[in-house]
Chain A
Amino acid sequence: MTISSVTEVMDDERSVKDGVDQETVDAVQKISSYKHGWETDIETEYAPKGLTPDIVRLISEKNEEPDWMTEWRLQAYERWLQMKEPDWAMVDYPDIDFQDQYYYARPKSMETKPKSLDEVDPKLLETYEKLGIPLKEQLILAGVEVDEEDIANRKVAVDAVFDSVSVGTTFQSELKKAGVIFCPISEAVRDHPELVRKYLGSVVPMSDNFYATLNSAVYSDGSFVYVPPNVRCPMELSTYFRINAENTGQFERTLIIADKGSYVSYLEGCTAPQRDTSQLHAAVVELIAEEDAEIKYSTVQNWYPGDEYGKGGIYNFVTKRADCRGDRAKVMWTQVETGSAVTWKYPSCVLRGDDSQGEFYSIAITNNYQQADTGTKMVHLGRNTKSRIVSKGISAGKAQNTYRGLVSMHPKAKNSRNYTQCDSLLIGDQCGAHTVPYIEVKNNSSRVEHEATTSKVDDDQLFYCRARGMDEEEAVALVVNGFCKEVLQELPMEFAMEAQQLVAISLEGSVG
């Protein structure tokens, strides 16, 4: 079946299922600029609704986990019961009924684990192909303009996570030759327990915060990476998260360990169907960089943002943290956040090793009724540690965009440096941008610099572009891409083009 006919089938299925006529479906699709809002018609197996110790055990059982993992989950569950949902972020959403959703959804065809990609249900493979993520090996991520020769030879290994399970991971054997482990975390729990037990929860403790604790109890799958000492991972690694099932939360967990002197670059992408009800996505990502190791972690977050009236969309409540455990370790977070109805996310670095470095580059775009409260924490513990934060917030429509950042220099973090630059761009006059920096310096040899600007899209710039032939939306996209340049250029080139297009798409309808 060709991709285009799959599209038709999927759209038809939806119109029948929702009981709405094709005209309405078409009309809605025309309004929305979200390109990944279709769903895959596939038989799905759910765990019963709601959250109980039995559900926790069931998830553990489905993943064929050893007892220690089950115990860990149950302990998290007990902690979670005693916790309260945080309310300090500048976001506003209706109460979530945690008993009224599914915590585990798996395509029926994944009941027996496919041994290779050839055995994976073609409908799942088509889903990723349609998203521009071919799971066939030797192919790079699509959507990229291949005009540099060098890019043609680049490879990206993909772990594809569909609802609660990993569907398949590419290039595993080639990575294995280099000594790199890249597999679903469910598999790592079974096959590499010594590594998982050593590192899981060592950066984001089980009881870190409400959502992280929830995740610790019910996480279903995610990716695991281990790069052995002095190995430079031979290709980009990536995980592509797709939520498909309705009323289902996605709780994935990613654990990346770069052992001494190693290097890895990892990309994460995510999309979800367009639905009227909101869905919860509460992930935990832990990065560990040992001595002289370097991790680059890039995200292009494109969860369904809700419609132009603020209906539906993903609640993206994510805990991401990196531990620069060894001296001279380096971690770089780059994120392009264009999706989700509500985003609550602060990728952070604990700079424990002396001379370790943390960087955070962020673009957060909110349009219509989207809300984003995002930023980072740089916790300087070691001497001569350095951090750099570049945040670009863009708001349009009635959206609210908050940068919240903490820079903390501990007493022992002598001679440390932070530089923070926060730029906000407003499109229209009904949106908001907020900058909330927290700075703590507990020694007198360290230095923290903070710069913040807020500007509006400049009419002269738009007119200049239009006088050269671009329409208004194209002009806004170009100017905004320019505003984001410092962050975009930090993305691996496979993602940079896609991100630029995404910037344009997410601002559609923001002018005129």
Chain B
Amino acid sequence: MLKIKNLKVELTAKGKSILKGVDLSVEAGSVHAIMGPNGSGKSTLSYVLSGREGYTVTDGSVTLDGTDLLDLEPEERAALGLFLAFQYPTEIPGVGNMTFLRTALNAQRKARGEPEMSSGEFLKEVREKSRTLQIDSEMLKRSVNVGFSGGEKKRNEILQMIMLEPKLCVLDETDSGLDVDAMKLVAKGVNELRHSGRGFLVITHYQRLLDHIQPDVVHIMVNGRIVKSGTAELALEVEKNGYADMMVELAE
């Protein structure tokens, strides 16, 4: 469903090249993981997929179910079913978490020509879905991400993901900064969303998340390229030996 071909990206302001030809396909119903050292371009990939400003695509293409994503505005990509769980979710003071979620949900529905969700229906859904993630009503009322702990922010991203029911979920280091219990909650949320029509791209630094979310394919990204792809085994290997081997291979 997601097809990335020879994607090359540089920072618009500095002209610095970050992604140097990424090829990746995520099929419906599968979970792909991307691992790699800090600074290798994982977050950049997630931002380019979702349409953030500041990056120039110099080559390659990205399609979601055949639609060219790169020409679309961020909100159009979201309405098509792309979701990014941010590595650093943004705080929006004064905007209630529920108001935010409802505005987003109805904006997507409107863009797709679907009827808006009534406030009653929305409340029911949110209450039900936040329970799985142990998000209480107090947290739903607070301003978006303001004063949230790291773990609360990440759980909130997953709540948004569950409510918005995207086709392709990109999770950028959703596990970092989480304790084991919080990570299990997040994994449970993701696993409940696993579905034959939905794809996942899980960016992570650590193998441990993949104990809870079993990936079908693991990719290793180093210095703006995917240098190796394999099964879940690959993640274990990286955990044991680090990326040094691959960096060396690359240098050669």
Contacts and interface: CB of A to CB of B under 8 A. Distances in A.
A500 to B, nearest CB: 10
B78 A464 contact: no
Interface string B137-169: 000000110000000000000001000100000
Interface stretch (A184-192, A205-213, A473-481): A473-481
Contact of B104 (A458, A460, A465): A465
Contacts of B94: 481-486
Given A469-B164, A471-B73, A471-B75, A481 B104 contact: no
A470 interface: yes
Interface in A57-97: none
Contact of B73 (A466, A478, A483, A486): A466
A479 B90 contact: no
B52 A469 contact: no
Contact of A460 (B50, B51, B90): B90
Contacts, number: 84
Contact of A468 (B52, B53, B160): B160
A467 B50 contact: yes
B93 A468 contact: no
Q: Is the interface of A mostly helix, strand, loop or mixed?
A: helix
B92 A471 contact: no
A147, A459, A468 — which one has the most chain B CB atoms within 10 A of its CB? A468
B230 to A, nearest CB: 30
B119 interface: yes
Interface size class of B (residues with CB under 8 A): 20 to 34
- A463, A466, A467, A470: which has the most chain B beta carbons within 10 Å? A467
B105 to A, nearest CB: 8
Nearest to B123: A147
Interface string B105-122: 101100100000001100
B187 interface: no
Contact of A469 (B53, B75, B93, B95): B75
A478 B95 contact: yes
Nearest to A484: B94
A147 B120 CA distance: 9
A468 B160 CA distance: 8
Determine the main DSSP class of B at the interface with A: helix
A456 B94 CA distance: 15
Contacts of B75: 466-467, 469-472
A470 B103 contact: yes
Given A469-B108, A484-B94, A486-B94, A478 B100 contact: yes
A461 B90 contact: yes
Contact of B78 (A458, A461, A468): A468
A395 B51 CA distance: 27
A478 B92 contact: yes
A428 to B, nearest CB: 15
A472 B73 CA distance: 9
Contacts of A478: 92, 95, 99-100, 103
A486 B77 CA distance: 33
A478 B107 CA distance: 12
A479 B107 CA distance: 15
Contact of B53 (A145, A463, A470): A463
Given A466-B75, A471-B73, A482-B143, 16 more contacts: A145-B119, A464-B86, A464-B90, A464-B92, A467-B74, A468-B100, A468-B107, A468-B108, A468-B160, A469-B75, A469-B111, A470-B75, A470-B103, A470-B107, A478-B99, A482-B94
6 closest Cβ pairs, A-B complex: A482-B94, A485-B94, A482-B95, A468-B104, A469-B108, A464-B90
14 contacts: A458-B90, A461-B90, A461-B92, A463-B90, A465-B92, A465-B104, A466-B73, A466-B78, A467-B50, A467-B78, A472-B73, A479-B92, A483-B94, A485-B143
